[in-house]
Amino acid sequence: MTKTSKKKKKSKKKSEDNEMEEILKAISNYGFPVVIATYLLIRIEGKLETLTESIRSLTQAILSSNTEKEEEEQ
């Protein structure tokens, strides 16, 4: 293992430790349910945006498909 890869692993470990400390501080300051609810809301937000975009593109595909069928019938 090279020195740079060892340093990267150490810095990654240090970063993870800092994140855990921040989470624990937040839990002690605000309470477990509040921290968990906030975490879940933040995580779900990105997925909701992706889902919203998928629904928009599906709607657009259905509308264009219906338009094509109507044009073929005439």
Surface-to-core class of residue 13, CB atoms within 10 Å of its CB (0-12 exposed, 13-18 middle, 19+ buried): exposed
To the question of pTM greater than 0.95 for the whole model, the response is no
**What percent of the chain has pLDDT above 70?**
81
Question: Mean pLDDT throughout 3-29?
Answer: 74
User: b/e string for 33-60 if b means 16 or more Cβ within 10 A?
Assistant: eebeeeeeeeeeeeeeeeeeeeeeeeee
Question: Above 60 in pLDDT, residue 17?
Answer: yes
Give the pLDDT of residue 30.
Answer: 83
Q: Mean pLDDT of all residues in the chain?
A: 82
Cβ-proximal residues to 26 (8 Å cutoff; 6+ apart), any chain: 35
Mean pLDDT of the 26-45 span: 87
Phi, psi of 31, rounded to the nearest 5 degrees: 100, 150
Which pair of structure tokens corresponds to residue 16? 């993870």
pLDDT tens per residue across span 26-35 = 888 888 888 8
Q: Domain residue spans in the chain?
A: 1-30, 32-74
